[in-house]
Chain A
Amino acid sequence: MTMTRRTVLAAAAMAAGLGMAQAQEPIKIGAINPYSGPLAQYGDEATRGFELGVEAINAAGGIGGRKLVIVRGDAGNPQQGIAAVEKLVSQDKVDLFMGTYISAVANAASDAAARHGKIYFEAMALASDLTERGLPNFIRGGPNATHFAERSVQAMVEFIAPKLNKKPSELKVWIEHEDTIYGTSIAQVQKRLLEAAGAKVVGVGSHNFRAIDLNDAILRASNAQPDIWVGTGYVPDNTLLLRTMRDQGFKPPVAMLLGTGDSADFREALGDFMDGVFVVGYPHADLSEAFAPGAAAFVQTYKAKYNRDPVAPQSLSAFTEMMILRDLLTAAGGTDMQKVRAAAAATDKPLKTYTNGYGVKFDEKMQNQRAIPNMVQWQAGKTVTVFPTDAAMAGTTLVNIPRAK
């Protein structure tokens, strides 16, 4: 700890010196996200978080006296990701990159950024293999898909099993997943961890996320009579699975979704059937101050600027990632790729340091091991953070467990 603090102080002093020399030059951050196309709402929302972060940092004097500026790069597919990076480097002269909502875009864009020797600080993309490539410029401050799977199993074993008056070894779980690499890899991790905890995986079902009928998937799960039904998918298939569950009268004591399920389109599709459903996803903003210092203040700032509540939890995570990046750049004294990487390797901040409960500790592949998703529960049309328990607001209770409707 002392070591780290000294490093940070030294770096800050260095940065201050650097700042005097270049006080006029801002640090330009290229924000690669989908700003058009089907995922634009999340790209926009993430960038609102980046922008609020930049405003807060600039108001406090910037990084070593240099202000931050965000330049948007629109990318909904890998080709656009590469094109956006080329444009941002050649025309806008950005110093580093932040991304991205879509893993395939992150893959291509970070590769392109590496050719220009620019840091690519990943805030959102989930695919586990992004950090397996060993790119020298790639640092992921956010969670990966494996963290989602781990958190879901941890919640089942430590939190849900006692609520059902069962030991973990008595739990019966049905794992349902969409059949691309995304859903499949999450299901594999879940199965391995559940079996390691002694729970019984009574079935693993896969489906195409574009299927127009999932009666078979629900019928199979229903016959296996699980205590917990957990599904990983996108919006169309996760809503169809729940609709089918409702139509067939399948009532697993606990229903849980991963990846999607915590957005307003689920409430619109399923109404009060959502009550009681758990969703593992990016931390929502209703967090205890002890777990996530500044989360409440973030929501106030967001409301003041945009005149409404955050559209999706991505903005809070993006804001948090900007704060993590600030600390890395401050420690590195600038945006040099090697120095930022070294600063990242040396950084050690416990969980509950940042605005959504994240801490920072990078493994050797530059994956942050302390960026962990949370679990919410739908209660009367709203999502309420329930796990981990110290993240939940005081007085939080559960509803509709075991499921009665």
Chain B
Amino acid sequence: MNTFLNVLLSGLLLGGIYALVSLGLNLIFGVVRIVNFAQGEFIMVAMYATYACFFFFGMSPYVAVFIIAPGMFLFGIIVQRLLLQPLRDEPLMQVFTTFGLLILMQNVVLAITRGEGKSVAVAASRTVIDLGIMKANAGRVIIFIVTAAIAGALLAFLRYSHAGKVIRAVIQDRDAARLMGINVELTYLLVFGLGAALAGVAGSLLAPIYTLQPQIGGNFILAAFAVVVLGGMGSVAGAYIGGLAVGIVESFAGYYVDPALKQAIWFLIFIAVLVVRPSGLFGRKGTEELGLRQH
């Protein structure tokens, strides 16, 4: 029983990480309808920025996040405006562009750091909290709490604010939204920025619990793509619950089946869900086709 709860809890904490990296990806995927292959590299760059703040100024990642998230917001806006918006009629080229961005960002960081592993050795990275059933790393517990708060805030924002309604209108039908006088390009710009800012938050919070390497972004993002499709494109609740679900499945599969098979197992579930519910667990019916219908 104890082991069972231990596995469940470490699955939940892992799920928190998946949910955190999926939120930004899902916003961009669901609203701007761009598969941002570079999202993992956005997170990686934010991790290194966090390291730089820590190394040069002794700044805690939990302080640095308030600089890095707005910084990534600006970065996202620049990428959307200068690289992606000019290609808005060629969605395939947009995907290639984000892929090019991925290669570029990895290699720039590689050239600067020469590939040496870096660590943000703050107290949270080595503090262990006793949760009764098991001991958990403080950094992971913080991620779990912050992710729940962000998901809640995003849900409220989309549901109740005017800007949120605009975003939902664009998700539902961008052409109709445009006819209603909504500035779709501006919405894309801000949502892409928001997605990048969420990558910034993820990077700052993840930096203390991993050893940084230029290729680390890819390790997170494969799972995040599965989470987004599983949870439903454009659905905040889907990304959050989907992230937790993948974390729990991975944890149980890794412990009770075989650590080497855990990815195979959740991709199996992923395919099964797609067959039964192509729009994902929480996605609106039809969202999976919207992209096609509009181009």
* Residues of chain A whose beta carbon lies under 8 Å from any beta carbon of chain B: 36-41, 179, 205-208, 210-217, 219-220, 223, 235-236, 239-240, 243, 246-249, 263, 265-266, 268-271, 273
Contacts and interface: CB of A to CB of B under 8 A. Distances in A.
* A contacts with B: majority SS: helix
A36 B7 CA distance: 41
B219 A210 contact: yes
B134 interface: yes
A206 B134 CA distance: 23
B58 interface: no
A291 B199 CA distance: 52
Interface in B222-257: 223, 247, 250-251, 254-255
Interface size class of B (residues with CB under 8 A): 35 or more
Contacts of A243: 125, 137, 209
Given A37-B115, A216-B254, A179 B137 contact: no
A37 B111 CA distance: 7
A240 B211 contact: yes
B157 interface: no
Q: Looking at A217, A236, A240, which has the most chain B CB atoms within 10 Å of its CB? A: A236
B190 interface: no
Contact of A247 (B14, B137, B223, B254): B137
By Cβ-Cβ distance, the 7 closest A-B pairs, closest first, are A216-B254, A38-B115, A265-B117, A269-B119, A215-B10, A239-B211, A247-B137
A41 B111 CA distance: 11
Interface in B70-124: 110-111, 114-119, 121
Contacts of A248: 134-135
B255 A220 contact: yes
B146 interface: no
B260 A249 contact: no
Interface in B1-21: 3, 6-7, 10, 14, 17
Contact of A236 (B125, B134, B210): B210
A5 B17 CA distance: 65
A247 B136 contact: yes
Contacts, number: 114
* B contacts with A: majority SS: helix
A210 B222 CA distance: 11
Contacts of A220: 255, 259
B117 A216 contact: no
Q: Looking at A213, A223, A248, which has the most chain B CB atoms within 10 Å of its CB? A: A213
Contacts of A236: 117, 210-211, 213, 216, 219
B110 A38 contact: yes
B211 A216 contact: no
Given A215-B14, A219-B7, A235-B213, A269 B251 contact: no
B211 A249 contact: no
A126 to B, nearest CB: 18
Q: Looking at B250, B251, B254, which has the most chain A CB atoms within 10 Å of its CB? A: B254
Given A205-B259, A212-B219, A235-B211, A268 B117 contact: yes
